[in-house]
Amino acid sequence: MNRLPKTFHALLAIASLLLTTGCWKENMGSQPKAKPMQESVFFSDGATARPLVEGTVARGDLELDSHLYQGFVDGKPATTFPEHYPTAADGPFPTRGPALAAVLERGQEQFTIYCAMCHGDAGDGHGIVIQRGFVPPPNYDVDRLRVAPVGHIFDVITNGYGAMYGYGDRVSAEDRWAIVAYVRTLQLSQGAPVDQLNADQIQELGGHR
C-alpha cells in the first residue's frame, strides 16, 4: 500500500486550520470604540467627543461673503442688499419686476412662518403670542427701525436681539434677506410719502395729498 507523503499531511492540517479560522465571524460590535456622548476615562474632561479645532468649517459651509451671510460690510451693518444673491455666483439683489415680486412673496411666506407670531402680520408688534403674555417687540414703523440699515435687521434675524433668539441655524441667508425686504415693504406701507404714490393709489386713500 502506498503511503501519502508527510508533506501532504502537513498541508492538509494547515488547510483545515485555515478553514476553521475562516468560519469565525469577528463581531465588529465587540471591538473597543467610542460611541457618541460616551464618557471617557482617557481625556481629562471626561468626554469622548473632542472639540472642533478653532476655525473648522463643515464642507460646503464656507461663507466668505460677509455681506451676504452676516449682513456686514467692512465690519459695519450693510446699508444695501447683497451684490450677490442668492449665492455669490448670482447677480445683485433684485430691485424691480417679477424677480423682486418673487423675493417679496418668499419673504412674506417666511415672515408669516417665523416672525408674525410675535411681530404681527403688519409688523406692529401685536402677534398672537403677545396676546398670551409675551413681551411685545417694537413696531417696525418706529423711526429707529425705519432708518436702521438693512444689515442690522439681517443681523437681528440671524443672531437674535433681546428676548428674540436667532434664526441663523434654521432660515437660510437667502430667506433672511427676503424677510428683510418684506420688512422694508411693511415699513413703506405704513409711511410712504404721498409724492411716491401714483394716481390710483392716491384715489384709494381718498384723494388726499
What pLDDT, on a 0 to 100 scale, did the predictor assign at position 59? 82
66 falls within a domain: no
Q: Which has the closest alpha carbon to 87: 179, 184, 175?
A: 175
Cell numbers for 66: 460677509
141-181 pLDDT, tens digit each:
999 999 999 999 999 999 999 989 999 999 999 999 999 99
HSE at residue 84, side-chain half, CA atoms within 13 A, is 11
115 falls within a domain: yes
83 falls within a domain: no
What pLDDT, on a 0 to 100 scale, did the predictor assign at position 90? 87
Range of the domain at 111: 88-189
48 falls within a domain: no
Q: In the chain, what percentage of residues exceed pLDDT 70?
A: 80
The 10 Å Cβ neighbour count of residue 93 is: 21
127 falls within a domain: yes
48-79 pLDDT, tens digit each:
888 888 888 888 778 889 999 999 999 999 99
Distance, CA of 110 to CA of 105 (rounded, Å)? 9
For the chain, the domain total comes to 1
Q: Which residues contact 45 (CB under 8 A, 6 or more apart)?
A: none
177 falls within a domain: yes
Query: How many residues belong to the chain?
Result: 209
pTM score, whole prediction: 0.69
33 falls within a domain: no
> 181: domain CATH number?
1.10.760.10
209 falls within a domain: no
